[in-house]
Structure 1
Amino acid sequence: MSRSTPRSCAASPDPVPASAHRGFVLLLTAGLLWGTGGISGHLLQADAGLAPLSVAAYRLLLGGGLITVLLVATGRLRGRPPVRALLVNGVLHAVFQGLYFGSLALVPVGFATLVKIGSVPVFVTAGLCLAARRAPAPRLAAAVLIAVAGLVLLTGFPGPDGGGWRLAGGVACALGAGLVFSVMTLLNRGPGAGIDPLVNIGVGGLIGGVLLLPAGLWAGMAVPADAESIGLLAFLALVPTAIAYVAYFAGLRTASDSAVAMATVTEPLTAAVLSMVLLGEEMTVLGMLGGVLLLVAMAADYLLPGRRRAT
């Protein structure tokens, strides 16, 4: 029917550029791959017997190393590197990954990921408002309030065995990871940050891995010499780290803000679904409602004018 419709009678919308489609696919792929990071890290802790700091060190060392090799091969590390910025980001990467994998040792994977990512809009908004010394815009304030409500309801996720201290510790670690990620976002936002985002992830991550190495060695970094453990380690470094971040920053060049929001929402959603399917984790009705509110808040936050993830 569309072929017989005269052009003068029905104005067709402008076609979406192919580059935007590619950007959307790349960002969606990044979100899906990021969502597997918590599962693979949890399995390394449970099956290979690695401590949270050891898993964090491996992810940063191997994943950051792979991205750094790619940067060298493509010539993106030419010139004088911003040493101070890389060192600061290296410390932040180390603390962020250590807290995140620490939360996975205490609470369910889906819960930890939702709290970590869901708290970022709250912390970023608070930081921006404190720096500007003014209250947030009404729509932004509404998104933050929705996120806070979601975080509160998300405590309906079944608590781990061992008592309330594990739940409290897991929430504290996940919120701490969200706070550190927010600090990293604020430090690296905008074109004047002075550091290539992929260099930040690659070289900064590698520095963070080196900083975590002493703690990882103290906790034990010996990996069982079996295919499952080696495969999990390779998967963690390659899929949710190296490939995911390369796909994200490649897609970010041409994708719309709505695609960025989709990638942001896809990560915790993927982690929650995989944790229920693969690990048998369950979520109460209140927990599901809290998760939905967090996803809505994250999407709204990234769709507001002028907002886009900076790391």
Structure 2
Amino acid sequence: MSVDLPTRARSSAALVIAGVLWGTGGLAGSLLGQRAGLHPLAVAAYRLLVGGGFATLFVLLNGGALPRTAQAAKRLLAVGALFALFQASYFAAVSLSSVSIATMTTIGAAPVMVTLAGTRRPSRWTLGSLAGTLAGLVLLRWTPDEPAHLLAGLGLALLAAAGFATLTLITAKPVLEPLSTTAFGCLVGGILLTPVASWAGLALPLRVDVLALVCYLGAVPTALAYAAYLRGLATAHPVLGALSAVLEPLTAAVLSALLFGERLSVQAWCGAAVLVAALAVGYWRPEPA
């Protein structure tokens, strides 16, 4: 399918917006966990439930309807299950390894899995962008001191990557509008994840700062970001969509340095530069959709 330049530009902009907004979600989720005393799985459940609730309300207020066809119901169940799998596996990987290792493995492995699942041989530009992305992630996120249970954490991070890659592949052929898919898919995922997260406690302190963080986490880096991502995937190649996810750790690293005074090493800044260059290659010479 041939895609004209304005359509490609819009899809690329939507994918960039999604990646950047996901980066703010990591910081918001971390702050929510600290201030509310929530387990990461509980944070993930609130993220999906609140994000799905906001998006569903927006869809219904704008004349949208609940899905009524069997095809739509199957798609939403699959999307919801993948949302739950991705969130639960990722946060479990964080608890068994570290944020840097879990993020690097998940975000780095996802575009590789999407590429391997493709029916066509990727171009040299895509392979170059993929190699640069992996190298940039290693430089940006790798730290030498890692806790025990690293292999189990890596396995769960790869499971999270498989969930994200599968989500990217199946939503590349839309059945519903991107916002409807996001809205109802997040709700389904949150409902599926809630029993798993409930053992750690879902009690939420009714404080202004905590409620503001919950609302932001649900509305911006979840509902808005996933809607933008799914809209971009409608006309972009799935490999480019998976590569765009690396903007999440890049944005989080830069925001941590700017807002919280965390100093990035020369190695990390080199990794950020390599990531930007690799993504630029991916957007400049994308695979045909």
1:140 matched to 2:123: no
Bigger CA radius of gyration: 1
Asked whether the 8 Å contact 2:111–2:243 carries over to 1, the reply is no
Amino acid of the residue matched to residue 186 of structure 1? L
CA contact (8 A) 1:27 1:247 kept: yes
2:196 matches 1:205: no
Q: Where in structure 2 are the equivalents of 1:50-69 lying within 5 Å?
A: 50-69=38-57
User: How many angstroms apart in 2 are the aligned matches of 1:186 and 1:84?
Assistant: 15
2:282 corresponds to 1:301: yes
Q: CA RMSD in A?
A: 3.7
* Unaligned stretches of 5+ residues in structure 2: none
> Structure 2 length normalisation: TM-score?
0.78
CA distance in 2, matches of 1:225, 1:273: 31
Letter in 1 for 2:53: G
CA distance in 2, matches of 1:98, 1:28: 24
Q: Distance in 2 between matches of 1:78 and 1:42?
A: 34
Rounded Cα–Cα distance in structure 1 between residues aligned with 2:40 and 2:149: 15
Report the CA distance between 1:40 and its aligned residue: 1.0
Q: Which of 270, 281, 296 does residue 251 from structure 2 map onto?
A: 270
From 243, 256, 278, the equivalent of 2:224 is 243
Please give the per-residue CA displacement for 1:146-193, whole angstroms capped at 9, x wherever unaligned.
Answer: 23333444454464xxx4326666555444333311111112223xx5
Q: 1:12 corresponds to which residue?
A: none
Any conservation in 2 of the 1:20–1:254 contact (CA below 8 Å)? yes
- Corresponding residue of 1:221: 202
1:107 paired to 2:80: no
2:115 to 115, 119, 125: 125
Identity, % of aligned pairs? 41
Taking structure 1 as the reference length, the TM-score comes to 0.73
Q: CA deviation at 1:124?
A: 1.0
Contact persistence 1:261–1:303 (CA under 8 A): no
Question: Pairwise mapping of residues 10-25 of structure 1 onto structure 2 (< 5 A)?
Answer: none
Q: 1:157·1:284 contact (CA, 8 Å) conserved in 2?
A: no
Question: d(CA) in 1 for partners of 2:155 and 2:278?
Answer: 21
For 1:136 and 1:20, the matched residues in 2 are separated by 18
User: Which letter does structure 2 place at the counterpart of 1:223?
Assistant: L
Distance 1:121 1:195, change over 3 A: same
User: Which runs of 5 or more residues in structure 1 are unaligned?
Assistant: 1-15
Q: Which amino acid aligns with 2:128?
A: A
